């Protein structure tokens, strides 16, 4: 099986190297091929998602992705900024299903900004639709306003839209995921205001009737944002659109106190996927060997499970990560008194030793 390795910018290359070494240590015959993406793609080929990189990603069975972005690209026009690589890969590979688990490891309960008794045992999964909604909806652009309070004035607009099949397929992903968990799905919408999300709610409800063994509830997005900090353990699987999922998944990640621990998967209809840590490229600490590689290593575990049909190997990697945490090893971002601080490579080595 072929894995495309797109390390990207900032700490991307350091953390991806550790995840790749973990995959190599499993004794499987995976083949790795690297390509430039993000700012690195722009430097090498003048575009954040070079043609050759996209072709490699399309040909591979899975993509191991680091992170993209650096302040030095802030002045570039939007179509050349590193983020465009992320959006282009999602669109071109049809990666419509974004899985973002937020799990609190008991050893790290002290790292959360919420009280331990509120977050201990937290284990939720956000299923975010990733190729539709206002992110990709057309038309979009700028024009002179034809109506509204200031006709004739310059205005900008985007289009929020979802088709029935788009909502159905992401709803199925959520209900199927719930079957392997606590059998509860919370669909997050804004049906009280938006036509798009009234439609969303109806379709998720209809799909839910095909899963009588799974409990379905509907929450408005503002209430969901509040519930996430009030009592996050009420959630099992949250399914929502692209924009609300972007916002809620950042909120959920912070409940665990350690964004350096959270993996993610973006899947197409045939289980091909792109796997990346939930955190960004952290250019401020790049090249110093102190970044936490665990989110990327856990993303590799998700890759083993969802794209490479190696569920036992995924469990092995996850168990190794837990073992290393239990032993008291910590990178700087999750360091607490009484634990032992290690760097990126030492953490990766410890996970491989624990395998
Ligand atoms: C994410 C990021 C991206 C998004 C950006 C980098 C385009 O915030 O993966 O959540 O908005 O989807
Ligand atoms: Mg985001």
Could you tell me the CATH number of the domain that includes residue 352?
3.40.718.10
Same domain, 76 and 113: no
Residue nearest to atom 4 of ligand 1 (CA): 246
What pLDDT was estimated at residue 32? 98
- What's the gap in Å between 334 CA and the centre of ligand 2? 21
* Confidence band of 54 (pLDDT split at 50, 70, 90): very high
Residue at which a domain ends, from 232, 263, 294 = 263
**Structural domains in the chain (count):** 2
Domain that holds residue 65: 1-96+268-355
Atom 7 in ligand 1: which residue has the minimum CA distance?
83
Query: Are residues 188 and 237 located together in one domain of the fold?
Result: yes
State which of 211, 242, 263 marks the end of a domain.
Answer: 263
Does position 340 have pLDDT exceeding 90, yes or no?
A: yes
Angle separating helix axes 294-306 and 311-326, nearest 10 degrees: 160
**Residues 261, 96: Cα–Cα separation, whole Å:** 23
pLDDT at residue number 312? 97
Res 31: pLDDT: 97
Instruction: Judge if 109 and 200 occupy the same domain.
Output: yes
On average, the pLDDT of the chain sits at 96
135 is catalytic: yes
Tell me if residue 70 is catalytic: no
- How many other CB atoms are found less than 10 A from the CB of residue 304? 26
Tens-digit pLDDT profile for residues 108-133: 888 888 999 999 999 999 999 999 99
Site residues for ligand 1, CB cut-off 6 Å? 83, 86-87, 246
Domain boundary among 240, 263, 286: 263
Question: Based on the domain organization, do 130 and 253 belong to the same domain?
Answer: yes
Token readout for 230 is 């009030």
Domain check: are 110 and 228 in the same one? yes
58: CA distance to ligand 1 center in Å? 20
pLDDT value at 258 more than 90: no
**Among residues of the chain, what percentage have pLDDT more than 70?**
100
Q: Is 268 noted as a catalytic residue in this protein?
A: no
Contact 63, 275 (CB under 8 A): yes
Q: Indicate if 146 and 190 belong to the same structural domain.
A: yes
Do 134 and 259 reside in the same domain of the chain? yes
Q: Give catalytic status of residue 190 as yes or no.
A: yes
Closest protein CA for atom 2 of ligand 1: 246
User: 191 alpha carbon to ligand 2 midpoint, in Å?
Assistant: 22
Residues whose beta carbons lie less than 5 angstroms from ion ligand 2: 246
Residues 6+ apart with CB under 8 A from 79: none
- Whether 222 sits among the annotated catalytic residues: the reply is yes
Hey, what are 64's tokens?
């191991």
Asked whether 119 and 128 are in contact (CB, 8 A), the reply is no
């Amino acid at each position: 099986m072929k894995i495309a390795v797109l390390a990207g910018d900032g700490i991307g290359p350091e953390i991806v190297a550790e995840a790749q070494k973990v995959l190599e240590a499993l004794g499987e015959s995976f083949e790795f091929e690297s390509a430039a993406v993000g700012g690195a793609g722009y430097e090498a080929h003048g575009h954040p998602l070079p043609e050759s990189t996209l072709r490699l990603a399309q040909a591979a069975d899975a993509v191991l992705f680091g992170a993209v972005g650096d302040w030095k690209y802030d002045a570039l026009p939007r179509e050349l900024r590193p983020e465009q690589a992320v959006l282009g890969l999602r669109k071109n590979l049809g990666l419509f299903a974004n899985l973002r688990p937020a799990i609190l490891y008991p050893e790290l309960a002290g790292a959360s900004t919420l009280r331990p008794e509120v977050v201990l045992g937290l284990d939720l999964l956000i299923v975010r639709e990733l190729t539709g909604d206002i992110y990709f909806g057309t038309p979009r652009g700028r024009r002179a306003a034809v109506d509204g309070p200031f006709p004739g004035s310059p205005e900008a607009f985007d289009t929020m839209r979802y088709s029935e099949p788009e909502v159905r397929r992401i709803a199925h992903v959520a209900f199927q995921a719930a079957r392997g968990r606590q059998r509860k799905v919370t669909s997050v919408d804004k049906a009280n205001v938006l036509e798009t999300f009234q439609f969303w709610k109806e379709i998720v409800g209809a799909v839910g009737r095909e899963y009588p063994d799974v409990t379905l509830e509907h929450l408005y997005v503002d209430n969901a944002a509040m519930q996430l900090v009030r009592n996050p353990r009420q959630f099992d699987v949250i399914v929502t659109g692209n924009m609300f999922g972007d916002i809620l998944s950042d909120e959920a990640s912070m409940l665990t106190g350690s964004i350096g621990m959270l993996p993610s998967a973006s899947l197409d209809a045939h289980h091909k996927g792109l796997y990346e840590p939930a955190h960004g490229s952290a250019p401020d600490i790049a090249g110093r060997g102190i970044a936490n590689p665990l989110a990327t290593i856990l993303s590799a575990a998700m890759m083993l499970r969802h794209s490479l049909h190696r569920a036992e190997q995924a469990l092995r990697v996850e168990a190794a990560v837990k073992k290393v945490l239990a032993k008291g090893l910590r990178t700087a971002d999750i360091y607490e008194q009484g634990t032992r601080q290690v760097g990126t490579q030492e953490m990766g080595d410890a996970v491989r030793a624990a395998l």
